[in-house]
Amino acid sequence: MESVAFPSMKNEQSATTGVDWHAVLGSMWQGIQPALPYLVPLLIFLIILTTPLPGRGPGSRKRDPWRVFKYDARRAVLARAGNRCEAAALVFVLRCPTEAAEADHVYPWSKGGATVISNGQALCRGHNRSKSNLTPPWWYVLLLERRRRNYFPADVSVRVSGAIGAADKATRRAWADRRNRR
Ligand SMILES: [Zn+2]
């Protein structure tokens, strides 16, 4: 008797406690539906806000064997910024007034950003510490370039690029040669 009653009880149980997913999803959808006219634009806005600038990033996540800006590269990054921090102040239009302390990667080194002058920016100690390790969105890069037009020497490019170019490779070879000759 038991062996017959047991499975039938089990069936009854699953029928009464089983979740009616159709009803749950239906009520969830009904809850979300009124917010959709706001949620969709918000989602699109967030995607646009966090999109990187095409063609400027490192193009690969492979880490540059050169970890930090040193010697001539560090000097060049700091000098073209007039040894002043390049971070934004006040709604990204003005510039941090503090003296620069570090040559920092615009595209983070940990995400494949190369240790090349075109990927460098001068930062004060405070801004260097508070900088996130995220790939900068398009507007961050464009606003940095816009600010740079006001203080970079006329013959220096304001363009940010996280990749190693042919010129960078040649410069590295020349530095290595010079070091070997010493
Ligand atoms: Zn600063």
CB atoms within 10 A of CB 89: 14
Q: What is the 95 CA–ligand 1 centroid distance (Å)?
A: 8
Tell me: pLDDT of 1 over 70: no
Model confidence pLDDT, tens digit, residues 13-68:
555 568 899 999 999 999 888 888 888 899 999 999 999 999 999 988 999 999 99
Q: What is the 30 CA–ligand 1 centroid distance (Å)?
A: 48
Among 153, 172, 173, 160, which residue's Cα sits nearest to residue 70? Answer: 172
Instruction: Provide the CB-side half-sphere exposure for 151 (13 A, CA).
Output: 21
Taking phi first (over 0 means left), then psi (-120 to 50 degrees means alpha), and beta for anything else, what does residue 149 get? alpha
Q: What is the 37 CA–ligand 1 centroid distance (Å)?
A: 40
Q: What is the 164 CA–ligand 1 centroid distance (Å)?
A: 26
Q: What is the 99 CA–ligand 1 centroid distance (Å)?
A: 7
Is-contact 153 80, C-beta < 8 A?
yes
Q: What is the 142 CA–ligand 1 centroid distance (Å)?
A: 18
Model confidence pLDDT, tens digit, residues 56-101:
999 889 999 999 998 889 999 999 999 999 999 877 678 999 999 9
Q: What is the 86 CA–ligand 1 centroid distance (Å)?
A: 7
Q: What letter represents residue 44's amino acid?
A: I
